[in-house]
Structures are given as structure tokens and as C-alpha cells.
Amino acid sequence: MKRKEIIIVGGGTAGWMTANILAHSFKEANVSISLIESENVPVIGVGEGSTPALRNFFDLLNIRESDWMPACNATHKTGIQFDNWSTVKGYQKYFHSFPSMVDQQTQNHFIHNAQLRAAGINLPANPSDFYLAAKIAQENKKPLANDNFPFEIDYAYHFDSNLLGKFLQNLAVNSSVNHVIGHVNDCKINSNNDIEYVVLEDDKQIHGDLFIDCSGFKGILINRLQGVEFVSYEKELFNDAAIAISTPLSSDSIKAQTKSTALKYGWAWQIPLSNRIGNGYVYSSKYVNKESAEQEFKEFLQVDGKELSVRHLSFKLGRLNKHWQGNCLAVGLSQGFIEPLEATALLLIQQTVGKFVDAYQQGNFNSQHRDNFNQQINNDFDGIKDYIVLHYTLNSRQDTEYWCDNRDNLAHMSNRLQQLILGWQTGRDISKLVVKLGLHNHYPISSWYAILAGYGYFPSDLRATEQSAYIDVLPKTQEFLRRCALNFPRYNN
Ligand SMILES: Cc1cc2nc3c(=O)[nH]c(=O)nc-3n(C[C@H](O)[C@H](O)[C@H](O)COP(=O)(O)OP(=O)(O)OC[C@H]3O[C@@H](n4cnc5c(N)ncnc54)[C@H](O)[C@@H]3O)c2cc1C
């Protein structure tokens, strides 16, 4: 049987993650994998947070944390702390935890309280108070328990994206991925809408059976194919620019959390790595110019007047209608981008490549299978997009038009989000509603509770008459979490 040639264009995180997954998945198959990377186009070089799914990626490749984390200045992440998105008393901050086995009981308490609070009963329902993940982050601890503690807790990572790219490159090259340095200038598309070969700067042609476009925002291959269109999210999500600045690590600053603080025209991330803090301001250029945004961000970071390297980036939010067209698959920024509020880009890369490998191994190459695949990936993107839209809808800030416009943008949100909000406001059991609307396919039910309750987005009246009939389980929960947290070591000791 003729050897299949897979050509990946692009050596950013998407390209190298894809190369590793394919090299692993096809190690028994008669397949050759080459990755072409331009020296003239730098990688995006931001993207320092993940979801817990990144653990599965390293597990698949049999790479231990001790192998890759020090090489990428990586730290653990148990969730995201949202500050100042809400002005509701008691809810100006909340923590969105990655829930794990140990949270079963306390999570039930949280959902119980949140559901009753939505029905008008005065119970505390800030998710930060109910999860071990939040407690561990608050106490500057690592999510790695000592041997006495019988539960594992789930977590994700922070990392230096340039170092991660280098690490993955070495790994792939050692797994026999052929690394070609060259700038792709053109590609030849045949009458079936398939790519036959790409043409490099020196006119060299590289032929392949399957082309994977990991070339970043430009999507230099996929966008050449007929039938591929960009579906914009700009009506639902206003941000289109970011500023990135690194600052030194202070001795006590490692918390296993990404911090997301709402500013006047967007939000700022703060990500602790083992050697520095990665900071960024994601904002909408329709509401503020880049100079004012930079000024505001520097004041927030308290680095005004200091010599620091400042990067400005712009982006458009949305996705392709077809991620797999003909013999070309788009992966990474070439297939779409949702803003990094929930750090989901690497997750989408994993999902895309994982689902593609399943289809490829079954030999499913007809247009019906491609359509099914594309529909699944579109659902993955749109589901995450919905969750991110909800952050903006639920904000209660009054300080700028940006926040008010975001809140008032209900007409552009998806129908299922509108139904969810209506259900919540009318005190319905949203566990069932989330499932009915299919939202649990993208975030667990507890995360939908966390976001609604985390913003203090409750009906204003405490309409229940029998307030005293309900027992507040929070004190017991907190005592349980305090004792659990004793089993985890602190950073910096
Ligand atoms: C502000 C911001 C914050 C983000 N934060 C997060 C986060 O916290 N978590 C997360 O998961 N993701 C985040 N992301 C997304 C994340 O950075 C990307 O998904 C990830 O880095 C993958 O990028 P990529 O490999 O698709 O593209 P790139 O890094 O842009 O790589 C493109 C590659 O293609 C090559 N190339 C381009 N043109 C050619 C050509 N003509 N010929 C040959 N090669 C070519 C380039 O040389 C490069 O190697 C963020 C993105 C932005 C913009």
C-alpha cells in the first residue's frame, strides 16, 4: 500500500500538538508526517492557560509532569477567579473551579443553595465558598495532595507558550516527524477542491495526501478552498484586541489560578508561571483606542513609567463553517478563535484532532462524514462561545458604555442562552434545563450554576415566605474544605 503523506503547515502550538497526536495515533500505520514552518512568520506567542484536558494530551503521549512542566515554566491551575465583573454585594468575586471527585458533596450543597437563592430564599450561593479547588488557590497551595488524602483533584496548567512549542517540537521530531523550514507561498488546488501540493518560496513543491493548516489567523490553505467561509461572532462578543505584558514574580504570588479582572473596556488576565507573571488586557477597539487601553492596563498593573516590553495584538472572533474541506483540515487559530476568557483554544485543538483521527482511522472520507465532523466541531465552538457570552450578559457594571452594551445585547445571544436565563429568573430547576438545551455537552451543569450564581444574578426579591425553613449548609461545608485543604502543600516552601 502506498505510504500516505501528511503535510502540516505551521509550527505554533497547534502545529506541534497536531504533529504529536498524529505521530502517536498513526505510529503503526504507513504514514509519513512533515511539518513546514516559516522563519518569516512568528508564532502568536500568547496563550498561557489551559483546561484540564491538557492532562489527557500529555497522558496520551506518556509524558510526565516532571518531564515537561519545568521545561515550560509551568504551574498548576485549579480554576479561574473572576474579579469585578459583578457589582452585586457578596458576588464581586467568584471562582470557577474545575470540579473533581472530592467536590461531589460540597457541589451538591452549592447547587442546592444556588437553586433556592434563585427561587427567592436568602441563602449564600457564591461558588467560591463551596469548592476545594477555590480553597487551594486562595491558600497559595498546589493541587497535589499528600498520601493521606485519598482523592485526586482535577486541575489544568499555566505555561510559557513559546517554551511549550519548543518542547512539543522536540517531542515530535523524536517521534519521526519531518521538520521543514520554508515559507509556503502558494498551493495547487485540483478540480475536486483538493490540495495537490504546496509551493515554497524557492519554488519547491511539496506533495501530500492530507494537508493540515496550522498557519494561524491567516489560514493560508483552508481559506483557498471553495465552500469555506468565516462565521463571525462579533455581534455577540465585542473584543478584538489585546495587550500582553510580563511582570516579575513576587515571592508570594503563585496561586493555582488564572485571575480575570474586569477593567473599563474588557478584562485583564494574570497568569502565574514559575518565573514570571503573564498579563494581558483583552478589550474592544470600538470603545477605546490602544494608547488609552495601554495606559489603563499599566495603571492596573502598577507598572506605569517602567521599561517593559508591551505587545499589541488584534484578532477577529469566530470560526470557519468547514474545518475539514476536501483533503485539508484546519487546526488552531486558522479554524477560528473565541476570546481567551476560559482558555479553551488548546482544548479545541485537541478536540478537532482527536475527532479527526477517529474519522481517519475508520476511513471515513466521503462528504457526509466530513459534514458530520464539521457539525461536531461547530457545536464545540458554539457551545464554548455561548458560555463566554454569558459572562458578558451577566455583568452588572455601570461604569462604561462597553459593559452596558454587553449586558443589553440579549437579542444577539443564542436562543438556548435566552431560554436558560429565563428559566433561571423564574426559579426553574436549571439542571434539567441545561440538559434539555444540550448545554451540558460543553460545560458541566455545575459550571452553568457557577456562572449564574457567581455573578449574583438572582431575582432581586426574596419572595419565599418561609425563609427560616432552610438550613444554611455553608458553615459545615467550609469546615470540611478547611480540613481537606490541610492535605495540600503550599507553593514557595
Ligand atoms: C490574546 C490571546 C490570548 C490567548 N490566550 C490563550 C489561552 O490562555 N489559552 C489557550 O488555550 N489559547 C489562548 N490563545 C490562543 C492560542 O494562543 C493559540 O490557539 C495557540 O497558540 C495556537 O496558535 P496557532 O499554532 O494556531 O498559530 P500561531 O502560533 O500563529 O502559529 C502559526 C504558525 O504558522 C506558520 N506560518 C504562517 N504562515 C506560514 C507560511 N506562509 N508558510 C509556512 N508557515 C507559516 C508560522 O511560522 C507559525 O509557525 C490566545 C490567543 C490570543 C490572541
Low-confidence ranges of the chain (pLDDT < 50): 493
Is the beta carbon of 346 within 6 A of some atom in ligand 1?
yes
**Residue 190 in grid coordinates:** 485540483
**DSSP-derived 3-state class of residue 205:** strand
CA angle 191, 193, 199 (to 5 degrees): 90
**Residues 6 or more apart whose Cβ sits within 8 Å of residue 426:** none
**Residue 465 in grid coordinates:** 415566605
Handedness of CA 71, 73, 75, 81 (dihedral sign): negative
Alpha carbon distance 206, 5 (integer Å): 10
* Rounded distance from Cα 389 to ligand 1 centre (Å): 23
Q: Which atom of ligand 1 is nearest to the CA of 215?
A: 34
Q: Could you read off the pLDDT of 449-467 as tens digits, one per residue? A: 999 999 999 987 666 666 5
What pairs with residue 178 in β-bridges?
34
DSSP 173: H
**Residue 312 in grid coordinates:** 499589541
DSSP 490: B
DSSP 335: T
Whose CA is closest to 462, among 493, 435, 427?
427
Place of cell 434545563: 433
Q: How many CA atoms lie within 13 A of 404 on its CB side?
A: 5
Is the beta carbon of 180 within 6 A of some atom in ligand 1?
no
Q: What is the pLDDT of residue 493?
A: 46
* Rounded distance from Cα 56 to ligand 1 centre (Å): 21
**DSSP-derived 3-state class of residue 85:** coil
| This prediction's pTM | 0.96
**Residue 239 in grid coordinates:** 473584543
Q: Residues of 180-194 as b/e, b for ≥16 C-beta within 10 angstroms?
A: bebbbeebebeeeeb
The helix (run of H) or strand (run of E) holding residue 181 is strand 178-181
Residues 280/315, Cβ–Cβ less than 8 Å: no
* Rounded distance from Cα 6 to ligand 1 centre (Å): 20
Is the beta carbon of 228 within 6 A of some atom in ligand 1?
no
DSSP 441: G
Alpha carbon distance 289, 156 (integer Å): 34
Alpha carbon distance 91, 127 (integer Å): 9
Alpha carbon distance 148, 289 (integer Å): 54
What is the rounded end-to-end Cα distance, in angstroms, of the chain?
58
* Rounded distance from Cα 436 to ligand 1 centre (Å): 35
Alpha carbon distance 342, 267 (integer Å): 12
Alpha carbon distance 449, 389 (integer Å): 15
Is the beta carbon of 383 within 6 A of some atom in ligand 1?
no
Residues 448/434, Cβ–Cβ less than 8 Å: yes
Alpha carbon distance 437, 434 (integer Å): 5
Q: What is the pLDDT of residue 292?
A: 98
Q: Which atom of ligand 1 is nearest to the CA of 332?
A: 26
The helix (run of H) or strand (run of E) holding residue 268 is strand 266-272
Q: 318-320 and 266-272 as β-strands: parallel, antiparallel, unpaired?
A: unpaired
Residues annotated as catalytic (active site), given as ranges: 77
Best of 198, 202, 215, 350 for a ligand 1 pocket test (most atoms within 8 Å of beta carbon): 215
Alpha carbon distance 122, 8 (integer Å): 56
Q: Residues of 277-295 as b/e, b for ≥16 C-beta within 10 angstroms?
A: bbbbbbbbbebbeeeebbe
What DSSP letter does each residue of 378-429 carry, written as one string? HHHHHHHHHHHHHHHHH----SSHHHHHHHTGGGGS-HHHHHHHHHHHTT--
